[in-house]
Structure 1
Amino acid sequence: MKREISIDSCALAQGPYVQGLVYNGMIYASQIGIDKEGNLVEGGIKEQTKQIMENFKLILESEDSSMDKIIQCTIYIVNMEDAPLMNEVYASYFTKPYPSRCCVQAAGMSGGAVVEMSITAAI
Protein backbone atom coordinates (compact mmCIF):
# COMPACT_ATOMS: atom_id res chain seq x y z
CA MET A 1 0.00 0.00 0.00
CA LYS A 2 1.30 3.47 -0.80
CA ARG A 3 1.86 6.00 1.97
CA GLU A 4 2.12 9.78 1.69
CA ILE A 5 5.20 11.66 2.88
CA SER A 6 4.26 15.02 4.41
CA ILE A 7 6.87 16.96 6.37
CA ASP A 8 6.75 20.47 7.82
CA SER A 9 10.30 21.33 6.70
CA CYS A 10 9.19 21.53 3.04
CA ALA A 11 6.35 23.46 1.45
CA LEU A 12 3.09 21.57 1.76
CA ALA A 13 1.41 20.40 -1.44
CA GLN A 14 -1.10 22.98 -2.67
CA GLY A 15 -2.80 20.85 -5.31
CA PRO A 16 -3.65 17.26 -6.17
CA TYR A 17 -0.12 15.99 -5.49
CA VAL A 18 2.10 15.14 -2.52
CA GLN A 19 5.64 15.89 -1.35
CA GLY A 20 6.43 12.24 -1.81
CA LEU A 21 5.14 8.69 -1.63
CA VAL A 22 6.48 5.48 -0.16
CA TYR A 23 5.57 2.26 -1.92
CA ASN A 24 7.11 -1.19 -1.63
CA GLY A 25 10.36 0.04 -0.06
CA MET A 26 10.81 2.89 -2.54
CA ILE A 27 10.38 6.66 -2.29
CA TYR A 28 8.94 8.70 -5.14
CA ALA A 29 9.17 12.50 -5.02
CA SER A 30 9.04 15.51 -7.34
CA GLN A 31 10.01 19.09 -6.56
CA ILE A 32 10.42 22.57 -7.95
CA GLY A 33 12.64 25.15 -6.25
CA ILE A 34 10.22 26.34 -3.59
CA ASP A 35 11.15 27.12 -0.02
CA LYS A 36 9.37 26.05 3.17
CA GLU A 37 6.86 28.90 2.81
CA GLY A 38 5.96 27.84 -0.74
CA ASN A 39 7.83 30.65 -2.51
CA LEU A 40 9.95 30.06 -5.59
CA VAL A 41 13.53 30.88 -4.57
CA GLU A 42 15.06 33.99 -6.11
CA GLY A 43 17.78 33.62 -8.69
CA GLY A 44 18.07 31.24 -11.57
CA ILE A 45 18.55 27.58 -12.26
CA LYS A 46 21.43 27.15 -9.79
CA GLU A 47 19.44 28.51 -6.86
CA GLN A 48 16.34 26.53 -7.81
CA THR A 49 18.36 23.33 -8.28
CA LYS A 50 19.93 23.79 -4.84
CA GLN A 51 16.50 24.24 -3.24
CA ILE A 52 15.17 21.15 -5.01
CA MET A 53 18.10 19.07 -3.80
CA GLU A 54 17.73 20.35 -0.24
CA ASN A 55 14.01 19.51 -0.35
CA PHE A 56 14.83 16.01 -1.57
CA LYS A 57 17.33 15.57 1.27
CA LEU A 58 14.67 16.48 3.84
CA ILE A 59 12.08 14.19 2.27
CA LEU A 60 14.50 11.26 2.07
CA GLU A 61 15.85 11.77 5.59
CA SER A 62 12.29 11.77 6.94
CA GLU A 63 12.11 8.14 5.77
CA ASP A 64 15.62 7.16 6.98
CA SER A 65 16.93 7.32 3.42
CA SER A 66 19.55 9.57 1.82
CA MET A 67 20.71 11.14 -1.42
CA ASP A 68 23.01 8.14 -1.94
CA LYS A 69 19.94 5.95 -2.29
CA ILE A 70 18.50 7.87 -5.25
CA ILE A 71 18.32 5.40 -8.10
CA GLN A 72 16.77 7.50 -10.84
CA CYS A 73 16.21 11.20 -11.51
CA THR A 74 14.22 12.88 -14.27
CA ILE A 75 14.98 16.56 -14.83
CA TYR A 76 12.92 19.07 -16.77
CA ILE A 77 14.51 22.42 -17.61
CA VAL A 78 13.09 25.38 -19.49
CA ASN A 79 16.35 26.20 -21.30
CA MET A 80 18.74 23.38 -22.20
CA GLU A 81 21.57 25.93 -22.33
CA ASP A 82 21.23 26.12 -18.52
CA ALA A 83 22.04 22.40 -18.15
CA PRO A 84 25.73 22.99 -17.28
CA LEU A 85 24.73 25.36 -14.45
CA MET A 86 22.19 22.85 -13.15
CA ASN A 87 24.78 20.05 -13.42
CA GLU A 88 27.23 22.02 -11.27
CA VAL A 89 24.82 22.04 -8.36
CA TYR A 90 23.33 18.59 -9.04
CA ALA A 91 26.72 16.85 -9.10
CA SER A 92 27.70 18.36 -5.74
CA TYR A 93 25.00 16.27 -4.02
CA PHE A 94 26.22 12.88 -5.27
CA THR A 95 29.19 10.56 -5.36
CA LYS A 96 29.78 7.87 -7.95
CA PRO A 97 27.93 5.89 -9.05
CA TYR A 98 25.50 8.67 -9.91
CA PRO A 99 21.77 7.97 -10.27
CA SER A 100 20.38 7.00 -13.65
CA ARG A 101 19.13 10.22 -15.19
CA CYS A 102 17.09 11.79 -17.96
CA CYS A 103 17.14 15.54 -18.67
CA VAL A 104 14.70 17.11 -21.11
CA GLN A 105 13.66 20.61 -22.09
CA ALA A 106 10.14 21.59 -21.05
CA ALA A 107 8.19 24.84 -21.29
CA GLY A 108 5.64 26.48 -19.03
CA MET A 109 6.52 25.12 -15.60
CA SER A 110 4.46 25.87 -12.51
CA GLY A 111 4.94 29.26 -10.87
CA GLY A 112 7.69 30.37 -13.22
CA ALA A 113 10.09 27.58 -12.23
CA VAL A 114 12.99 26.94 -14.61
CA VAL A 115 13.74 23.41 -13.37
CA GLU A 116 11.73 20.52 -11.94
CA MET A 117 12.99 17.13 -10.80
CA SER A 118 11.46 13.78 -10.01
CA ILE A 119 13.31 11.02 -8.15
CA THR A 120 12.99 7.39 -7.21
CA ALA A 121 14.99 6.28 -4.18
CA ALA A 122 15.37 3.19 -2.03
CA ILE A 123 14.64 3.34 1.68
Structure 2
Amino acid sequence: MTVPRASNPTRRQRDGTAFVGGFGKTTGDSDLLFVEGQLPKRDGEIQRHLTAPEQMELCLTTLESTLAAHGRELDAVLQVTIYITDMDSYDEINAVYEQHFQDTYPARTTVGVCDLLGGASATLDAVVALE
Protein backbone atom coordinates (compact mmCIF):
# COMPACT_ATOMS: atom_id res chain seq x y z
CA MET A 1 0.00 0.00 0.00
CA THR A 2 1.42 3.37 -1.00
CA VAL A 3 1.02 6.13 1.56
CA PRO A 4 0.38 9.51 -0.06
CA ARG A 5 2.77 12.36 0.75
CA ALA A 6 1.40 14.99 3.08
CA SER A 7 3.02 17.83 1.12
CA ASN A 8 4.26 18.70 -2.33
CA PRO A 9 8.01 18.94 -2.98
CA THR A 10 9.45 22.42 -2.56
CA ARG A 11 12.22 23.94 -4.63
CA ARG A 12 14.82 22.60 -2.19
CA GLN A 13 13.33 19.11 -2.28
CA ARG A 14 13.18 18.79 -6.06
CA ASP A 15 16.79 17.72 -6.35
CA GLY A 16 16.36 15.11 -3.63
CA THR A 17 17.89 14.94 -0.19
CA ALA A 18 21.44 15.48 -1.45
CA PHE A 19 20.93 19.26 -1.09
CA VAL A 20 22.78 20.26 2.09
CA GLY A 21 23.29 24.01 1.74
CA GLY A 22 20.22 25.53 3.36
CA PHE A 23 21.56 26.25 6.85
CA GLY A 24 22.38 29.65 8.34
CA LYS A 25 25.96 30.53 9.14
CA THR A 26 25.66 33.22 11.85
CA THR A 27 23.34 34.15 14.70
CA GLY A 28 23.91 37.90 14.77
CA ASP A 29 24.65 39.81 17.97
CA SER A 30 22.96 37.80 20.71
CA ASP A 31 23.58 35.94 23.94
CA LEU A 32 22.13 32.87 22.22
CA LEU A 33 23.79 30.49 19.78
CA PHE A 34 21.51 28.78 17.25
CA VAL A 35 23.06 25.53 16.07
CA GLU A 36 21.22 24.06 13.12
CA GLY A 37 21.52 21.10 10.82
CA GLN A 38 23.79 18.91 12.94
CA LEU A 39 23.90 16.04 10.46
CA PRO A 40 25.57 12.68 11.20
CA LYS A 41 28.80 13.51 9.37
CA ARG A 42 32.22 11.95 9.65
CA ASP A 43 35.08 13.31 7.55
CA GLY A 44 32.58 15.51 5.69
CA GLU A 45 30.38 12.58 4.62
CA ILE A 46 26.88 11.89 5.92
CA GLN A 47 26.94 8.43 7.48
CA ARG A 48 23.60 7.27 6.04
CA HIS A 49 24.60 3.60 6.39
CA LEU A 50 24.57 3.83 10.21
CA THR A 51 21.47 3.10 12.29
CA ALA A 52 19.37 6.05 13.47
CA PRO A 53 20.74 5.80 17.04
CA GLU A 54 24.32 5.71 15.72
CA GLN A 55 23.55 8.75 13.58
CA MET A 56 22.13 10.56 16.62
CA GLU A 57 25.34 9.75 18.50
CA LEU A 58 27.32 11.47 15.72
CA CYS A 59 24.96 14.47 15.75
CA LEU A 60 25.35 14.90 19.51
CA THR A 61 29.12 14.47 19.34
CA THR A 62 29.25 17.17 16.65
CA LEU A 63 27.06 19.41 18.83
CA GLU A 64 29.47 18.94 21.74
CA SER A 65 32.40 19.94 19.48
CA THR A 66 30.51 22.99 18.25
CA LEU A 67 29.76 24.02 21.83
CA ALA A 68 33.38 23.48 22.90
CA ALA A 69 34.48 25.87 20.13
CA HIS A 70 32.30 28.50 21.85
CA GLY A 71 33.55 27.62 25.34
CA ARG A 72 30.27 25.94 26.31
CA GLU A 73 29.12 22.45 27.29
CA LEU A 74 25.84 20.56 26.97
CA ASP A 75 24.52 22.11 30.18
CA ALA A 76 24.23 25.42 28.28
CA VAL A 77 21.73 23.94 25.81
CA LEU A 78 18.28 25.45 26.31
CA GLN A 79 16.29 23.67 23.60
CA VAL A 80 16.81 20.82 21.12
CA THR A 81 14.75 19.82 18.10
CA ILE A 82 15.42 16.32 16.83
CA TYR A 83 14.28 15.22 13.37
CA ILE A 84 14.04 11.49 12.60
CA THR A 85 12.77 9.59 9.59
CA ASP A 86 11.61 6.52 11.52
CA MET A 87 9.54 7.13 14.65
CA ASP A 88 9.97 3.44 15.52
CA SER A 89 13.58 4.33 16.42
CA TYR A 90 12.43 6.93 18.97
CA ASP A 91 13.19 4.85 22.08
CA GLU A 92 16.70 3.97 20.89
CA ILE A 93 17.42 7.58 19.93
CA ASN A 94 16.06 8.75 23.27
CA ALA A 95 18.48 6.40 25.07
CA VAL A 96 21.42 7.96 23.17
CA TYR A 97 20.10 11.45 23.97
CA GLU A 98 19.82 10.63 27.69
CA GLN A 99 23.43 9.39 27.77
CA HIS A 100 24.62 12.81 26.61
CA PHE A 101 22.26 14.88 28.77
CA GLN A 102 22.71 12.89 31.99
CA ASP A 103 22.26 15.66 34.55
CA THR A 104 20.23 18.26 32.68
CA TYR A 105 17.50 17.90 30.12
CA PRO A 106 16.83 20.92 27.92
CA ALA A 107 13.39 21.42 26.40
CA ARG A 108 13.09 19.05 23.46
CA THR A 109 10.84 18.39 20.52
CA THR A 110 11.10 15.29 18.35
CA VAL A 111 9.70 15.57 14.84
CA GLY A 112 9.05 12.68 12.48
CA VAL A 113 9.88 13.59 8.88
CA CYS A 114 9.76 11.88 5.49
CA ASP A 115 13.31 12.71 4.35
CA LEU A 116 16.42 14.38 5.69
CA LEU A 117 19.28 15.99 3.82
CA GLY A 118 21.88 13.65 2.41
CA GLY A 119 19.76 10.60 3.20
CA ALA A 120 20.34 10.92 6.94
CA SER A 121 17.98 9.22 9.41
CA ALA A 122 18.52 11.75 12.21
CA THR A 123 19.59 15.37 12.68
CA LEU A 124 19.16 18.08 15.29
CA ASP A 125 19.01 21.80 15.95
CA ALA A 126 19.80 23.46 19.29
CA VAL A 127 19.49 26.79 21.05
CA VAL A 128 22.38 27.45 23.44
CA ALA A 129 22.97 30.13 26.08
CA LEU A 130 26.27 31.97 25.62
CA GLU A 131 26.07 34.05 28.81
Q: Same fold (TM over 0.5)?
A: yes
TM-score by length of 2: 0.75
Q: What's the CA shift string for 1:35-82, capped at 9, x where partnerless?
A: 1x2112241111110110010001001011111110100111101110
AA paired with 2:81? T
* RMSD of Structure 2 on Structure 1 (CA): 1.7
Distance 1:90 1:24 in 2: 27
Count residues in correspondence. 109
Which residue matches 1:88? 95
1:9 matched residue in structure 2: none
Of residues 17-26 and 93-102 in structure 1, the stretch that sits farther from structure 2 once superposed is: 17-26
- Structure number with the higher strand fraction is 1
Match 1:39 to one of 26, 45, 65:
45
Counterpart residue type for residue 115 of structure 2:
G
* Aligned position for 1:27: 33
Residues 87-123 of structure 1 deviation map (CA, whole Å, 9 limit, x = unaligned): 1111101134300011110011111101111000112
Alignment TM-score, normalising by the size of structure 1: 0.80
CA 1:103/1:69 → structure 2, altered by over 3 Å: closer, same or farther? Answer: same
Please say which structure displays the higher CA radius of gyration. Answer: 2
Structure 1 segments of 4+ aligned residues over 6 angstroms from their partners = none
Judge conservation of contact 1:20–1:59 (CA < 8 Å) in 2.
Answer: no
Mark the runs of 5 or more structure 2 residues left unpaired by the alignment.
Answer: 1-19
Superposed, 1:65-104 pairs within 5 Å as: 65-104=72-111
Name the amino acid aligned to 2:23.
Y
Q: Identity rate of aligned residues, in percent?
A: 23
* 1:77–1:116 contact (8 Å) kept in structure 2: yes
